Copies of this chain bind each other. A is one copy, B any other.
Amino acid sequence: MIISLTEENYLKAIYTLSHLSEESEVTTNQISDHLSIKAATVTDMLKRLAEKKLINYIPYQGVKLSDKGKQTAIKVVRKHRLWEVFLVDKLNFKWDEVHEIAEQLEHIQSDELIQRLDTFLGKPKFDPHGDPIPDANGLLNVVKAIPLNQNKTKGLFVFVGVCEHSKTFLQHLTSIGLKIGDSVKVEEINEFDNSYKVKINKNNSQFFSNKVASNILVEIKK
């Protein structure tokens, strides 16, 4: 069965949205907002995807990926993240420059290509933003990281990923001097604005706004 580039994008959107909240059902409006496509158009496409057995769709009730649909979505995510590793590790792009290009590359059709790219890159487990890369069977490393602002205690953490992927946020982290894998020591949490006084690696202390802290994923440092 042929799955068009557009269909792949809808499947990926549904996959992503279904992991943002506890709800397993994704709504028409969520997809509409996420893809910047009018809800009426989304409804049309949902009917087509249901026709193809890629989703389970009940009018007015939202939508869930079928096994086949999930498999397709995960493959697209795998390709996206592998290409991002390629762009950063091999072509020296910055982590805030690769999203758009990977959005195009993720639709290249060739299983052999993905497999060889994966090998060429050393079978990476995470992309440049710390997001896990599904393996060839669609299995994902479960990351138990949490946003920094959910830690209400001082302590030593490792920066392992971001929630927000926008260019401006990534550039902000770069200007702060924060990179994936850096250690983040929380020295103070200010109650009035929930800002964080932190030390990155061995550098001078600085402040993270709550907005920054809420978009940074950390694990407790062992």
Chain B residues positioned under 8 Å from A120 (CB to CB): 90-91
Number of copies: 2
Q: A75 CB to closest chain B CB, in angstroms?
A: 15
Segment among A99-107, A181-189, A195-203 that sits at the interface with chain B: A99-107
Checking B87, B91, B104, B110 against A109 with a beta-carbon cut-off of 8 angstroms, the contacting residue is: B104
The reply on A17 being an interface residue by CB < 8 A is no
Q: List, in ascending order, chain B residues with CB within 8 A of A110's CB.
A: 100-101, 104
Q: Which B residues are in CB contact (< 8 Å) with A113?
A: 87, 91, 101
B-chain residues with CB within 8 Å of residue A101 when the two chains form the complex: 108, 110, 113
Q: State how many angstroms separate the Cβ of A96 from the closest Cβ of chain B.
A: 13
Closest Cβ of chain B: how far from A102's Cβ, in Å? 10
The verdict on A168 contacting chain B, using a C-beta distance below 8 Å, is: no
- Distance between A118 CB and nearest chain B CB, rounded to angstroms: 10
Pick the contact of A105: B87, B91, B108, B112 (CB < 8 A).
B108
In whole Å, how far is A38's beta carbon from the nearest beta carbon of chain B? 21
Which single residue of chain B is at the shortest CB-CB distance from A93?
Answer: B116
Interface residues of A (CB under 8 A from B): 87, 90-93, 97, 100-101, 104-105, 108-110, 112-113, 116-117, 120
Additional pairs, 15, CB under 8 Å, beyond known A90-B120, A91-B113: A87-B113, A91-B116, A91-B117, A91-B120, A92-B116, A93-B112, A93-B116, A101-B108, A101-B110, A101-B113, A104-B108, A104-B109, A104-B110, A105-B105, A105-B108
